[in-house]
């Protein structure tokens, strides 16, 4: 196995392990509660009556439970997992990148939760359409935006990803047949 391939495998293993640890180890009850509080505040601000509440270590906005997945922590965990083991980037830039992603993802999720509740309460979509497909579509666009922003602010990330892909994928001929 070539040295670049070993480095890629090592990076992927470390990034995956960190992402999994960040996502699964902590108890995110406080983040869930704060997400519920801010979602309810946004809904009230736009004219939809909402109340955040907790019971048995679970957070709610009206009748909707705010779970770990609702906080966007999985996206932040993946970005942290990708940035922390990244070679040749200062810790200051890594922490700024992770912090920026965390704040943007958090705000996007507050907006997403409010949008889904509005779509349901206004009778525009039933919950099964307002929640899953809408959340998935918004999530895909948010992650795409964050990847572009990450590449803009930390271009070494995109450069490394492209070099890794070039070393893994077979070379295609560019000459005409």
Domains in the chain: boundaries: 3-165
CA dist 57 → 28, 47, 68, 98 (Å) = 10, 28, 12, 27
Q: Which two three-digit tokens encode residue 12?
A: 């992927």
pTM (2 decimals)?
A: 0.81
Per-residue pLDDT of the chain (177 residues; tens, 9 = 90+): 777 778 888 888 998 999 899 888 889 999 999 999 999 999 999 999 999 999 999 999 999 999 988 888 888 888 888 888 887 888 998 888 888 888 988 998 999 999 999 999 999 988 888 888 887 887 788 778 878 877 777 888 878 777 777 777 766 666 665
Do residues 53 and 62 lie in contact, with contact meaning Cβ atoms separated by under 8 Å?
no
Predicted confidence at residue 174, as pLDDT, reads: 65
């Amino acid at each position: 196995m070539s040295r670049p391939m070993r480095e890629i495998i090592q990076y992927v293993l470390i990034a995956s392990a960190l992402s999994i640890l960040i996502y699964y180890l902590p108890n995110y009850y406080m983040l869930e509660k704060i997400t519920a509080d801010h979602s309810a505040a946004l809904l009230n601000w736009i004219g939809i009556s909402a109340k955040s509440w907790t019971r048995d270590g679970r957070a709610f906005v009206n009748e909707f439970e705010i779970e770990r997945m609702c906080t966007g922590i999985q996206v932040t965990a993946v970005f942290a997992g990708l940035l922390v083991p990244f070679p040749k980037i200062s810790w200051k830039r890594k922490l700024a990148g992770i912090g920026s992603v965390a704040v943007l993802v958090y705000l996007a999720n507050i907006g997403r939760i409010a949008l889904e509740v509005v779509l349901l309460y206004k009778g525009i979509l039933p919950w099964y359409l307002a929640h899953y497909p809408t959340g998935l579509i918004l999530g895909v666009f948010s992650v795409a935006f964050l990847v572009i922003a990450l590449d803009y602010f930390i271009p070494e990330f995109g450069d490394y990803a492209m070099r890794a892909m070039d070393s893994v994928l077979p070379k295609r001929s560019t000459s005409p047949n």
